[in-house]
Amino acid sequence: MGQNDLMSNAEDVADQFLRVTKQYLPHVARLCLISTFLEDGIRMWFQWNEQRDYIDATWSCGYFLAACFVLLNLLGQLGGCVLILSRNFVQYACFALFGILSLQTIAYSILWDLKFLMRNLALGGGLLLLLAESRGEGKSMFAGVPSMGEHSPKQYMQLGGRVLLVLMFMTLLHFDPSFISILQNLVGTALIVLVAIGFKTKLAALTLVLWLFAVNVYFNAFWMVPAYKPMHDFLKYDFFQTMSVIGGLLLIVALGPGGVSMDEKKKLW
């Protein structure tokens, strides 16, 4: 009974948080979600020569094609971020960012690095949730198609987004025998399973936001590293990738898990 009371109190706190922040939370979520694309687009501008030379050296494609690749990344990411923040052509902006994400996965050989591949897939999950949100606002490219309840494309986008987002946490698990590490792994795994299946979703997602933000600030404090050191850029990239996943989780907190979830099924029981 005490455990049920604790869970109820936690849910009450989460509901109170949502009532206070419901007008601002979706905006904060979108800003966090696109932050890694915004940062990467700006980095393409300031590191134009380095990025072009890297692509040319890796693929031997020549300066012209390498420069086109950098320009496409710069314009695609910054343009997509502007459209999303201004809430114009959000679906097209999401598809453009999906394309940039896929292109970078191949160009930077992320496809063969499991950790970074899982993080890119988690970013894709965040974009899926944003795409689902834009459909909910009546901006669907399939306007006029009748809704099919929980079988609608939007519900499956939310499901896919939830499942992909939890891949970020798989890269944070530490396999060492210390008590703290084991406890973090157990709690983190329990929370990501709850988000994936859509049970107590808003509370679990909000808890993950707090945990992931604390981990991000502690481990990816790029502002503590001099800008001339390579580790600065690495930590900065990691920091904003994690912020994007936090944005996806905040969308889940703000909008709920969708029809394909345990929370929605409970309403029918």
Residue 142's pLDDT is: 42
Answer whether residue 171 is part of any domain: yes
Separation of alpha carbons 78 and 38, rounded Å: 6
Instruction: Report yes or no on 57 lying in a domain.
Output: yes
User: Cβ(220)–Cβ(246) under 8 Å?
Assistant: no
Nearest-angstrom CA–CA distance, 241 and 75:
19
For the chain, residues with pLDDT lower than 70 are: 1-7, 136-151, 173-175, 267-269
In a domain, 19, yes or no: no
Position 147 scores a pLDDT of 43
Q: Is residue 112 assigned to a domain?
A: yes
In a domain, 140, yes or no: no
Q: What is the pLDDT of residues 106-159, one digit of tens each?
A: 998 888 888 889 989 999 999 999 998 887 654 444 444 444 444 578 888 888
In the chain, the number of structural domains is 1
- CA nearest 71: which of 51, 85, 56, 89? 51
- The residue type at 221: A
H or E segment and range at residue 234? helix 230-255
pLDDT (0 to 100) of residue 40 = 94
The two three-digit tokens of residue 151, written as one number: 């079988």
Range of the domain at 123: 25-135+153-261
Flag whether 87 is in a domain. Answer: yes
Q: What is the DSSP string of 80-125?
A: HHHHHHHTSSHHHHHHHHHHHHHHHHHHTTGGG-HHHHHHHHHHHH
